[in-house]
Amino acid sequence: MKLSVMQENLARGLQVVSRAVPTRSTLPVLNNVLLRTEDGGLKLTATNLEIGMTYWVPGKIEVSGATTTPARLLTDIVAGLPTNERVDLELQAQETLHIQAGRFETRVKGIDAEEFPAIPTAGDKPTTRIAQNVLRKALTEVTFAAASDEARPILTGVLARFEGTQLTLAAADNYRIAVKTITILDPVEETSIVIPARSLDALSRVLSETDDPVSVVLSPSRNQILFHVEGIDLVSRLIDGQFPNYQQVLPKSHTTTATVDRDQLLKAVRLAGFIAFSSANIVKLHIGKEAATGLMVSAAADIGDNHSEIEAQVDGDGTTISFNAKYLVDVLANVPAEQFSIELNGPLSPGVFRPVDDADYVHVVMPVKTTS
Amino acid sequence: MTAGRLTIIHVDLDAFFAAVEQRDHPELRGKPVIVGGDPRSRGVVSTCSYEARKFGVHSAMPLRTALSLCPNGIFVPVDGAKYQRVSREVMTVLRRFTPVVEQVSIDEAFLDVAGSEGLFGPAPEIARRIKIEVVAATGLTVSVGVATNKLVAKVGSDLRKPDGLVVVQPGEEAAFLAQLEIRRLWGIGPKTADRLHGLGIRTIGELAALPVETLARALGEHGATLHDRALGIDADPVVGGGEAAKSVSHETTFAVDVTDEAEVERTLLALTEGVSARLRAAGIRAGTVAVKIRDSQFRTITRQKSLPEPSDLTDTIWRAALELARPEVRGKKIRLLGVAATGLGQPEQTSMFEIVDEKQRRVVDATDAVRRRFGDRAVTRASLLHRPMPSPFERDPASAVEGRVGIPRIEDDIE
């Protein structure tokens, strides 16, 4: 294998695929990135067996071939080379990669490419396509709500329900749920799958702010999903199992609504969070009866207390409810709406948060039962 | 703690389990009684009476060895529940004298009597009254040490067993320790002792005379601590009493240090069963789980983590305890394990989907009911079957778990 690529392209490609490199693996070859000449360029591949990423770097091939090289090491080395420099890569004896850029010369020992697991790539006709900016915004608004601990593996995934030209994404961690419906470009027969939230995080980093579409390929056996954008493939395994029926927990009615400015509420909750953090991280929302004082955010702990009053347009009976501050900050920080409407049914019922300008998003947070 | 004043008392029951058996079975009195079970089994001696000690029998010795040393010994099984009950009676007596009682195991406790002297007289007088009242209440004798700190009080109580009373006056600590053999000091086990013997050190006084640097070179960080101890310096306060229940915990000291991870995990399960049953009985849930691990070098660590939501279920608490303990026990010889549930009665995050299904809750409720009616061993987890698990020592629920680290016990004193 012998070829030349530009430093920026190679550096960017390594940076992208290294997100799929496991933090530690018992299989040594997984710590490496696969380099393979393909389509007149260099294809980089990394995988942690849950997600696989490939990135195609344009280049000039003299001799085709393949090898694997320690991913983090190669990423660091290439990032340290001068930009705008041509990088010559050559596979030498004993699986050693020779990296030459101007007067910088490095040799790194690798592992035979044959040992690298096969990663499926896009070749099939896409199941559907989605505008990149639409999918990216939806992922930002949904994936954070997925569970991070493995107590219930299904909740570490995001439910994706395709139906006609709509895709509904839902993530929940047992204390909150985020649901968003977006439009897809090609109709799909009704299908529900659960995609690891980690894979979608990696995906949202490669999506750009354009309405150019990302292709989505659902494997016929329904155990993998593949996303393809210009030069990049991301394939992820799916999570087996039944996602809980979240429709059941979405409240159908409410007795109090408060419409507030997102920024103001976020500021108030963050402030209260500093106090709340020292104990159980609980902040209290108090909404007075119609047209009364607005919305009061407060926290009290051993080290002190905090109260903020923010303007709100209130409808209904008013109530007081406690939430874990983290869950409020998460939704308010990740959903970029001007205003939110908060729908409540009393202190022990789930709270519903809706961005006022987006009827396709809903977020539900379970309250905290306080003794007082 | 009141530094420099004679207010710290260490109370240690004499040959506790054996003494209880001799009390309850008059025919055993004056005879070599060995508590531990069938001498043909693979178990070890839990405690033996002073009559048996004359034959060279001691705690943690394999029962078969004990049998060969003392063929006329009377071997009796361990009755953990009974010893626990008697232990509580003793602790009740101790609390008559001060609220600051720190129970460190089933058969010993520290008291700080600062503030009680006006009522009961100076600490040595309180110590004498404790001895009398424990005998009156339980028929058992205790050995008592009185000093300005826990370290010296403990060495004192150990010195004139059984039925001893040793008072070390303020300022006399170093002189008192100087003539004693180094093994009597906290934190000197057989290995450290061997290394010190190699340096020609036999007594605590010789240890104290050694430059700190030399000790640190020979024993590492531990060396500096030992130097302080050899001088009778110890700032560890008596912790206990005065506060509402902050934690529920069970712990157990192994008769023989354990390296088998499966054994560690089973023990954690047994301890967790006890802890969670008490939580359920009290109708409270714990937000945090802590484990305490002491290795053969007396290094004690505690690790804790918050649960995603407060729980009183054995499985949930055990899983958390395993997660905490696994990385810490690997490759170590474990001497003591403890499981504590803290963060009691915290506000409760309500959940969206019921994680604990009703079935599991019904199983737990049913087993609790069976145990209440037929005893703790009436229903047992399969993995704990046929494994003689010592009844765990229950942490005094009236005191916090924090601040309880680093109270090593003398290596050969395991009763």
Chain A residues lying within 8 Å of B345, measured CB to CB: 371
Interface of B with A (CB under 8 A): 287, 308, 345-353, 355
Measured at the CA of B142, the angle between CA B138 and CA B146, to 5 degrees, comes to 135
Q: How many Å lie between the alpha carbon of B346 and the closest alpha carbon of chain A?
A: 7
Strand B165-167 and strand B142-147: pairing? parallel
- Given a contact cutoff of 8 angstroms between Cβ atoms, the answer to whether B291 and B339 are in contact is yes
Interface test with A, best of B246, B322, B353, B354 (most A CBs within 10 A): B353
Which chain B residue shows the shortest CA-CA distance from A349? B350
Shortest CB distance from B347 goes to which of A152, A177, A280?
A280
Catalytic residue among B21, B51, B102, B108: B108
Shortest CB distance from A280 goes to which of B308, B346, B353?
B346
> In terms of Cα–Cα distance, which of A98, A118, A100, A102 is closest to A110?
A98
Mean pLDDT by 10 residues, chain A (372 residues): 96 94 88 94 94 95 96 95 94 95 94 91 81 97 92 92 96 94 95 95 93 92 89 94 89 92 96 86 86 81 87 90 95 95 93 96 92 54
CA torsion sign for B303, B87, B19, B150 is positive
* pLDDT at residue B103, rounded to an integer: 85
Interchain proximity A174–B355, CB inside 8 Å: yes
Measured distance CA(A269)–CA(B275) in Å, rounded: 36
Strand B101-105 and strand B108-112: pairing? antiparallel
- Residue whose pair of structure tokens reads 């569970």 in the numeric block: A147
B280-303: pLDDT as tens digits = 877 778 888 999 999 888 888 889
* pLDDT at residue B221, rounded to an integer: 72
Interface test with A, best of B306, B351, B352, B356 (most A CBs within 10 A): B352
Interchain proximity A174–B308, CB inside 8 Å: yes
Q: How many Å lie between the alpha carbon of B187 and the closest alpha carbon of chain A?
A: 36
- B171: region left, alpha or beta (phi > 0 left; psi from -120 to 50 alpha): left
Chain B residues lying within 8 Å of A24, measured CB to CB: none
* pLDDT at residue B409, rounded to an integer: 32
> In terms of Cα–Cα distance, which of B306, B307, B302 is closest to B325?
B302
Active site residue B108: yes
Which chain A residue shows the shortest CA-CA distance from B352? A174
Interface test with A, best of B311, B316, B349 (most A CBs within 10 A): B349
B316-365: pLDDT as tens digits = 999 999 999 999 888 889 988 999 998 876 677 788 876 555 677 788 88
* pLDDT at residue B368, rounded to an integer: 82
- Residue whose pair of structure tokens reads 């696989």 in the numeric block: A52
Single-letter residue type at B47: T
Q: How many Å lie between the alpha carbon of B308 and the closest alpha carbon of chain A?
A: 9
Q: Could you say which DSSP state residue A111 is in? A: B
Mean pLDDT by 10 residues, chain B (415 residues): 76 95 94 91 87 91 92 90 88 89 88 88 94 94 95 93 94 93 85 86 91 81 82 83 66 86 90 87 83 88 85 90 92 90 77 68 82 75 68 42 31 28
Interchain proximity B345–A371, CB inside 8 Å: yes
Interchain proximity A366–B308, CB inside 8 Å: no
In this prediction the pTM is: 0.60
Measured distance CA(A80)–CA(B196) in Å, rounded: 54
Chain B residues lying within 8 Å of A176, measured CB to CB: 352
- ipTM of this predicted complex? 0.72
Chain B residues lying within 8 Å of A350, measured CB to CB: 352
Chain B residues lying within 8 Å of A324, measured CB to CB: 349
Which chain A residue shows the shortest CA-CA distance from B343? A280
A83-106: pLDDT as tens digits = 989 999 999 999 999 999 999 999
Interface test with B, best of A179, A368, A370 (most B CBs within 10 A): A368
How many A-B residue pairs are in contact by the CB < 8 A criterion?
A: 47
Length of chain A equals: 372
Shortest CB distance from A249 goes to which of B346, B348, B352?
B352
Measured distance CA(A158)–CA(A264) in Å, rounded: 29
Interchain proximity B353–A151, CB inside 8 Å: no
* pLDDT at residue B398, rounded to an integer: 35
